[in-house]
Amino acid sequence: MFDNIRADFQAHGRDWGSQGFWAMGVYRFGRWRYGVRPWLLRKPLSFVYKVAYKLVQIVTGIELPCEVTVGRGFVIEHSGGIVVSGFANFGDNCRIRNGVVIGLARVEEPCAPQLGDDVDVGAGAKLLGNIRIGNHVRIGANAVVITDVPDHCIAVGVPAVIKPRRR
């Protein structure tokens, strides 16, 4: 857990005041507590996690449940209005900004986007449903992505139009 928190601290520019770092610290603690085997010890840790999660959610506007799978180098650039479904997966070196929603298209289908490595999601973007976002992808600000995005592409607009990315 502490190695991951140190890496998150580095990824957030070594800034203790970064609200994204706060959210990642609570996230890492939530993941770590699952490994505590005596249930009698895990129960109070779960209570501490739930209180810390709710506090971070209220103060920062970041909803990042510990059920999400997050790779190394994950950065929450700006806080406010960020909602991530517990079914989502992030690869390494992903970056999200304020107003981003990564979640379900329909409540009846509990499946959320799977993001590859080096994905940059612009402010206000919405990624919804059972979709795959490839590696080295850029999602434009306020884009609504409801289809798969291949590797090395950009997605812009409402609904998102997929275009090859110039390297």
Query: Using one digit for the tens of pLDDT, what is the confidence trace for 101-125?
Result: 999 998 888 899 999 999 999 999 9
Query: Using one digit for the tens of pLDDT, what is the confidence trace for 27-55?
Result: 999 999 999 999 899 999 999 999 999 99
Over residues 135-156, mean pLDDT: 96
Which parts of the chain are beta strand (E)?
62-63, 75-76, 82-84, 95-96, 101-103, 114-115, 120-121, 126-128, 132-133, 138-139, 144-145, 153-156, 161-164
| Mean pLDDT, rounded, of the chain | 94
* pTM reported for the whole predicted model: 0.89
Is a pLDDT exceeding 80 seen at residue 140? yes
The residues spanned by each domain of the chain are 2-164
Fold of 2-164: UDP N-Acetylglucosamine Acyltransferase; domain 1 (2.160.10)
| Confidence at residue 79, expressed as pLDDT on a 0 to 100 scale | 87
Q: Which of 29-33, 77-81, 129-133 has the lowest mean pLDDT?
A: 77-81
